[in-house]
Amino acid sequence: MRIRRIRVRDYAGIEEAEVVFPDTGVTIIEGVNEAGKTSLVTALDAILEYPDSSGSKKIAAVVPVGRDVGPEVEVELVTGDYELTYHKRWKKGKETVLEVTRPVPEQLVGRDAHDRVEAILKETLDMGLWKALRLDQGAALGQADFEVPSLGHALDAAIGGDVAGDDEDALWTRIEDEYARYWTATGRPKVELSAAADELAEAQEASDAADAHLRRLDADAEEIDRLKAQAVVLQETQVEAARTVESMADQVDAVARVRG
């Protein structure tokens, strides 16, 4: 989408202003603070998003204070094969007028005009990419929203890389679905993951207890082997002691016979 012209009237603090954009180059809008530079951007969002009957707080916020008038926005733009002029006024004397000059002339008013513009933008414009490429004054500077597939495609194409296709998008969707199964949007574990973690802790505790019991059994088995070996030694000692007793008894008998 290329914006050729935007005009606002009785919009926020602007009585009337118009900016014409060349087909090439960069346009810089200069002015003192609170002169309405940011209002030109919000005016574009307003005319594309809100019907003239909207009761949105964002529309109410741009109604001039102390004046019985309705804010107006008019844009001339090219999107896809379409070239059109789109005018909208909210609140006082609300109206919507659309004039399409290319590829086929069309003239619509009211809700029909609003719905037709929405259909044209849906046909010709990737709104996710459009919003991802926007940088609004006062917004935090952060990493681009790569959840918008077309943004990744555009960056890949710009650097000469391979452009991801439907298979890659489907894979990313499955990854997101799997993540969402176990984690909330704020990164907290869900019930299923918490229950699995509790089961894991219980299983680990049971495993540790079984290992400790096995170590005790191994120690008992070693003690049994030691006692068996000691029993053999004691048995041999007992046999030797019995022989000694028998020998000494024979000696006692021999001494007794000599004395007698």
Can you tell me the distance from the alpha carbon of 104 to that of 215, in angstroms, rounded to the nearest whole number? 86
Cis before 103? omega within 30:
yes
Give every CB contact of residue 68 below 8 A, 6+ residues apart in sequence. Answer: 92
What is the H or E stretch that residue 58 is in?
helix 57-60
Least confident segment among 4-8, 80-84, 187-191 = 187-191
Q: Is the pTM of this model over 0.75?
A: no
Closest CA to 105 of 124, 84, 126, 89: 84
Q: Is the pLDDT of residue 97 over 60?
A: yes
Residue 177 confidence (pLDDT):
87
Average pLDDT (239-259) is: 88
Residue 84: which domain range? 2-125
Instruction: Give the percent of the chain with pLDDT over 90.
Output: 53
- Which CATH number belongs to the domain containing residue 72 in this structure? 3.40.50.300
Tens of pLDDT, residue by residue over 29-85, are: 777 676 677 888 889 999 999 999 998 999 999 998 888 899 999 999 999 999 999
Q: Is the pLDDT of residue 142 over 70?
A: no
Confidence of residue 165 (pLDDT cuts 50, 70, 90): low
Buried b (16+ CB within 10 A) or exposed e, 78-110: bbeebbbebbbbbbeebebbbbbeeeeebebee
Tell me if 47 is assigned to some domain: yes
Tell me if 213 is assigned to some domain: no
Tens of pLDDT, residue by residue over 199-213, are: 999 999 999 999 999
**How many domains are there within the chain?**
1
Confidence of residue 176 (pLDDT cuts 50, 70, 90): confident
Residue 79 confidence (pLDDT):
94
Residue where the block lists tokens 């004054």: 137
Least confident segment among 15-24, 92-101, 146-155 = 146-155
CB 74 within 8 A of CB 6: yes
Side-chain-side CA neighbours of residue 208 (13 Å): 6
Tell me if 164 is assigned to some domain: no
Tell me if 73 is assigned to some domain: yes
| Token output for 156 | 């890949």
Can you tell me the distance from the alpha carbon of 226 to that of 137, in angstroms, rounded to the nearest whole number? 83
CB 4 within 8 A of CB 77: yes
Tens of pLDDT, residue by residue over 40-56, are: 888 999 999 999 999 89
